[in-house]
A and B are shown apart, each in its own frame.
Chain A
Amino acid sequence: MSGSASLAARADGPPAPSALALDLTPAGGAAPWWRRTLRQGSFEARIALRNGEQLLLTLVLPVIVLVAAARTTSLDLGTGDRPSLALAGVLAVAVVSTAFTGQAIATGFDRRNGVLRLLATTPLGRSGLLAGKVLAVLLLVLVQVVVLGAVALAVGWHPEALRVLAAVPAVLLGVAAFTSLGLLLAGTVRAEGTLALANFVWVLLLAGGGLVLPSPIARVTDLLPSGALGGALRSALAGGTVAAGPLVVLAVWAAVATAACSRWFRWE
């Protein structure tokens, strides 16, 4: 087992000297956790912003819905001023698009392609990967809020600071609930199934889940995260109130989905 003998016997000899010599001397170290999370979050957000299909879902369709809902009078958006109600509904749609549908599809394919496996072996680890995903969703929702807010101004929305502030907890709890639901879907169903289901659920919630329009079956939809998010945002933006009921519903969904995720999420 003499190492030197086997080295001497090697026909290839030592590595050829190279103009681009690398100092491969071991110096492994992890960047601080906050930098890893920031990097992963901005990395995933950049990927999402370059993905045409996802942009369609997260920005183009919400803008169309916003303009249509604010300008037409044939839809009953509920009681309150029309642009505020339209913006509330469309922000709810935007949160579901990004946190649930877009994120579930991306995570589902990352899981199938082994990206979750590989990143779990880097200093990021599994917890950093999840933290990065949540940060990416928050960054994307921020972009959506800015774009949709600007479009809403153009179609006659008059923002009031208190009402905008009242919407913040609804957006944050909505992100929490739908991100964990999206992860639960991506971590338990195969990628193609996730793709189909995430889009199907999005259409379903948009049509009758109480996101944009107050639901005709409010007793049911008020208990859904979609109805709760739509309701909370309408209360905030059109009424200037923080609606406790819908926020509790969102918090419960977030807690249950997070627990289910840690129990059933499969990394590969």
Chain B
Amino acid sequence: MKKTFTCIICPNGCSLDVDYDGQNIIVKGNLCKRGEIYAKEEIIAPKRTISSSVRLIDGDMEIVSVRLSSPVPKSMIFPIMEVIKKTRVTAPVHIGDVLIHDVLSTGADVIATRNAERRS
């Protein structure tokens, strides 16, 4: 099987030519090692990260922005969004704080990406 991907790891957006015979995966066109890893994952089990916001109680704004600490299988994106939607956290929150640990057993944490102070 031959496939062409656009690598999404960084803005270079390398065009990857992937050759997969059921056992070996050969990747060409990548400028760096991350492209090879991405292409292999894309064949076997595609992964993505997502960003969203979590409801903030007593904070300077209604929400605090969050992202996943590492990519998760694509099929887990919408189930994770449901968990994020139900989550409430109380200010203050700081960048890097783990708001949901190991979300849905994916191994990824939901972490805060903004410093949110208490409402004054």
Asked if chains A and B come from one complex, the reply is no
The interface of chain A, by Cβ under 8 A from chain B, is none
The interface of chain B, by Cβ under 8 A from chain A, is none
